[in-house]
Structure 1
């Protein structure tokens, strides 16, 4: 394997470790938010989703990244967190 490719992969692995740490922090906040919301519509919050997407697309441009890639990643991430939050919200309803 090319030494340059090995270095790039190591750098990617390091970034992945940082990303996972930040996702775990985001998850903790999502779980807290779930406890504060009153119904599933508040959890889904489509206007908030679009607000976040617009914001991160702008951040991508500023950072020199692809807004399209960032949007796709964020939409997938938000969908997964909404599923988690709905499960949390439903769990609070049973408590």
Structure 2
């Protein structure tokens, strides 16, 4: 796994919470970066179909479910999170391309 975060056994509840807080911070930073690139991508899209791109959504969902399974994470939970995030970004993009 290419990450600065590693799974280490915690010796206390406070230690576990510290790690969770650090992960929450990193997740938010990564989502913000993803949003930046979604905002970049919309410049190259010309239609609502290109924004909604059901084929791309299917491809992304398949990839994240496979990665979740590989890492021992619940793929249904990951799919739900991604579908919500993707829907948010689609709505954000649609505001950009609609007059």
Query: Taking structure 1 as the reference length, what is the TM-score of the superposition?
Result: 0.86
User: May I ask how many residue pairs the two structures share in their alignment?
Assistant: 89
What's the CA shift for 1:21?
Answer: 1.0
User: Which structure 1 segments of 5+ residues have no match?
Assistant: none
* Shift in Å, 1:10: 1.6
- What is the root-mean-square deviation in Å for CA atoms of aligned residues? 1.4
Once residues 97 and 42 of structure 2 are traced to their aligned partners in structure 1, the CA distance between those partners, rounded to angstroms, is 5
1:55 matched to which residue of 2? 63
**Counterpart in the other structure of 1:40:** 48
Distance in 2 separating the partners of 1:32 and 1:9: 35
The separation in 2 between residues aligned to 1:57 and 1:79, in whole angstroms, is 17
**Corresponding residue for residue 70 of structure 1:** 78
Instruction: Write 1 or 2 for the structure with the bigger share of helix.
Output: 1
Runs of at least 5 residues in structure 2 that lack an aligned partner in the other structure: 1-10
Runs ≥4 residues deviating over 3 A: none
